Amino acid sequence: MKSMDMNLAEYLIDEWVTFSIPVYQRKYTWGKDEISRFLFDLKSLINSDTDKKHFVGSVFS
């Protein structure tokens, strides 16, 4: 497995990217509100006028 830093916006618009959020992940349950908040946060990061990096956790693709 190879790890690398990626630009989030470029990753999200890749036509081969598919998101799969487990219904139950440990003690955290993903509902509509949590998914909406997550997507809002991603959009805010993409639209920010900063060159700072933000760790969003591990993404396997």
Q: Is the pLDDT of residue 1 over 60?
A: yes
Q: Is the pTM of this model over 0.95?
A: no
Enclosing domain of residue 15: 1-20+28-48
Q: Say if 40 falls within a structural domain.
A: yes
Give per-residue pLDDT as tens, 25-52. 666 777 889 889 988 888 888 888 777 7
Average pLDDT over residues 10-39: 76
Q: Is the pLDDT of residue 60 over 70?
A: no
Q: What pLDDT is recorded for position 33?
A: 92
Q: Say if 54 falls within a structural domain.
A: no
Q: Say if 34 falls within a structural domain.
A: yes
Strands (E) in the chain, as ranges, are: 24-25, 28-29
Percent over 90 (pLDDT), the chain: 2
Q: Say if 57 falls within a structural domain.
A: no
Report how far residue 1's alpha carbon sits from residue 20's, in angstroms, rounded to the nearest whole number.
19
Tally of domains within the chain: 1
